[in-house]
């Protein structure tokens, strides 16, 4: 028997251009829909966020492990595991550290920034999930997926599998933004990183269009 395996292995190095800066935070209570309030509070300290296409993730805690949340109330109680995550260019990560020790003023609510954690590189996993993608509410699910397909195509991403998920609303001081969650699967490493870097659609400072690695596609 003759058996020869290809000795060439492909190595992929995660780029460092865009990273997630992460902070441990403390807040007694927050409205579930706090995207706009959080963005406005952060812009007071980091006014350049909008200029560099940064993204702000909602401060949330997963249900389970004895920490069930009453989402019907419109509020939730962040745990010690709750974090503030900002996606930004590497050369801006140092400036985000001025948040350490600050208290973000969200009107009736406050968020204390108590600890800075090590910045995280983006993932190269083949399945990504976005909790909120802004869309026109009159669109059907099929239309939403078709528009998304075209947007991804413009980024140079060849989509093989997508799944639309839950609908949501984000309130600002002037209007309501309608969103849907989205799972994109079977991405190659370059596509996965690119989608996390570029995001999809508008309102990144409100947490829209921001993708994270996802293992279980049954929960969207």
CA distance 219 to 44: 35
Residue 81: the pLDDT is 86
Residue ranges per structural domain of the chain: 18-63+73-121, 128-219
Residue 220: the pLDDT is 45
Instruction: Report pTM.
Output: 0.87
Residue 160: the pLDDT is 87
The overall average pLDDT reported for the chain is 89
Rounded to 5 degrees, what angle do the CA atoms 40, 44, 47 make? 95
Residue range 107-121, pLDDT digits in tens: 999 999 999 999 999
What is the block-wise mean pLDDT of the chain (220 residues), using blocks of 10 residues? 52 89 95 96 97 93 46 79 95 96 95 96 95 95 96 93 94 96 95 96 96 68
Residue 76: the pLDDT is 85
Residue 72: the pLDDT is 66
Chain centroid, CA 86 distance in Å: 8
Q: Confirm whether 18-63+73-121 and 128-219 share one CATH topology.
A: yes
CATH homologous superfamily of 128-219 equals: Crispr-associated protein; domain 2 (3.30.70.1210)
Chain centroid, CA 162 distance in Å: 17
CA distance 209 to 151: 12
CATH number of 18-63+73-121: 3.30.70.1890
* Number of residues written out for the chain: 220
């Amino acid at each position: 028997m003759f058996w020869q395996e290809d000795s060439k292995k492909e190595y992929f190095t995660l780029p460092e251009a865009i990273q997630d800066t992460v902070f441990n935070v403390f807040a007694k209570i927050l409205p579930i829909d706090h995207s706009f309030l959080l963005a406005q509070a952060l812009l007071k300290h980091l006014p350049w966020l909008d200029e560099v296409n940064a993204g702000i993730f909602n401060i949330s805690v997963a249900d389970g492990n004895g920490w069930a949340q009453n989402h019907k109330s419109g509020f939730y109680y962040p745990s010690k595991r709750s974090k503030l995550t900002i996606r930004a260019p590497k050369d801006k990560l140092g400036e985000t550290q001025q948040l350490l020790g600050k208290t973000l003023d969200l009107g009736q609510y406050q968020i204390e920034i108590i600890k800075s954690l090590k910045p995280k590189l983006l993932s190269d996993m083949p399945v990504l999930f976005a909790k909120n993608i802004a869309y026109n509410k009159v669109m059907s699910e099929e239309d939403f997926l078709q528009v998304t397909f075209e947007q991804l195509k413009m980024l140079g991403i060849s989509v093989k599998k997508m799944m639309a998920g839950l609908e949501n609303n984000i309130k600002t001081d002037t209007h309501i933004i309608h969103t849907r969650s989205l799972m994109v699967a079977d991405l190659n490493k370059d596509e996965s990183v690119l989608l996390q870097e570029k995001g999809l659609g508008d309102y990144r400072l409100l947490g829209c269009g921001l993708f994270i690695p996802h293992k279980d596609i049954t929960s969207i």
